[in-house]
Amino acid sequence: MTKDGITRVGSLEDDHVREIEGADNVVLAASDSGRRFAGTHPLTDVQLLTPIPAPRKILGVGLNYLDHINEGLTARKPPDFPVFFNKQVSSIVGPGDAIHLPLVSDQLDYEGELGVVIGRECRHVPEKRASEVIAGYVIVNDVSVRDWQRKSPTITLGKSFDTHCPVGPWLVTPDEIGNVRELQIRTSLNGVLMQDFSTADMLFGVEKLIEVLTTCFTLEPGDIIATGTGQGVGIHRNPPRWMQAGDIVRVEITGVGILENPVIAEPETTAWR
């Protein structure tokens, strides 16, 4: 924020910026909300909402961990360029919210991932300066409907069912998280550990992902990048372990927190009437 009350954002590689007026109002509103709800409350007494309820974009990264690439039945060559896909923003839910087992499929899979939240509008961000545009980190469960994922080459359909992007439990700022390449990610189903991997094994780091994306288009405040998952997903188990109604899926990332959600059958009320 500059002294004239205008936030200046834009390319980090040159001096060209665009002015966004009214940013003071956003800051004042957040400050006022903080004052009105000051104090502490036990987590058992509150229902946490997703910290990013309405991002403009959710961008996923596929095949970003070598052990995940190698766990399939057919060995694949690691990509030499990041593999991106979209999840629709209507898929977002928060901690404790139900994940729906779709009416049209039983191939419901989990993917525990580190999520990066963008903090400023940016374009053409060089890798070495990408940390300047990161607001913080969240946990993302990139829930996937595997048969619908295979139906479309873009895989967006199988990644975007309603309720299939739990995000939370809160936003952790970069200064709190430390080295983002030293985080352990664990996913469990009903208390049974299914995934256990480290962000140290990412093929493409957070900064590189931001550089590539902003080469193509503008990233905006609140945009989420889900950075990929490691080995242990349900589809590659023998037999496959699909999530079922009644399951509890839990994703834990050191330094970030725990994101836990129940799985229920998709309510019939969602069907067209």
| Domain range summary for the chain, segments of one domain joined by + | 1-39, 52-270
- Per the CB < 8 A criterion, the answer to whether 119 and 132 are in contact is no
- Per the CB < 8 A criterion, the answer to whether 114 and 183 are in contact is yes
pLDDT in tens, 163-196: 999 999 999 999 999 999 999 999 999 999 999 9
Report how far residue 76's alpha carbon sits from residue 237's, in angstroms, rounded to the nearest whole number.
Answer: 17
What is the reported pLDDT for 24? 41
Report how far residue 238's alpha carbon sits from residue 101's, in angstroms, rounded to the nearest whole number.
Answer: 21
pLDDT at 161 over 80: yes
pLDDT band at 211 (very low <50, low <70, confident <90, very high): very high
What's the residue count for the chain? Answer: 273
Report how far residue 156's alpha carbon sits from residue 133's, in angstroms, rounded to the nearest whole number.
Answer: 26
CA distances from 196 to 101, 112, 157, 240 (A): 24, 9, 27, 18
Under DSSP, is residue 5 helix (H, G, I), strand (E, B) or coil?
coil
Give, as one character, the DSSP assignment of residue 71.
Answer: T
pLDDT in tens, 41-82: 888 888 999 999 999 999 999 999 999 998 875 667 899 999
Give, as one character, the DSSP assignment of residue 215.
Answer: H
What is the reported pLDDT for 135? 97
Report how far residue 125's alpha carbon sits from residue 116's, in angstroms, rounded to the nearest whole number.
Answer: 15
pLDDT at 152 over 80: yes
Report how far residue 123's alpha carbon sits from residue 100's, in angstroms, rounded to the nearest whole number.
Answer: 36
Q: Two tokens at 7?
A: 């936030």
pTM of the shown model: 0.87
What is the reported pLDDT for 42? 87
What fold is seen in the domain 52-270? Fumarylacetoacetate hydrolase; domain 2 (3.90.850)
pLDDT in tens, 4-18: 333 333 444 443 333
pLDDT at 100 over 70: yes
Mean pLDDT, residues 229-246 taken together: 97
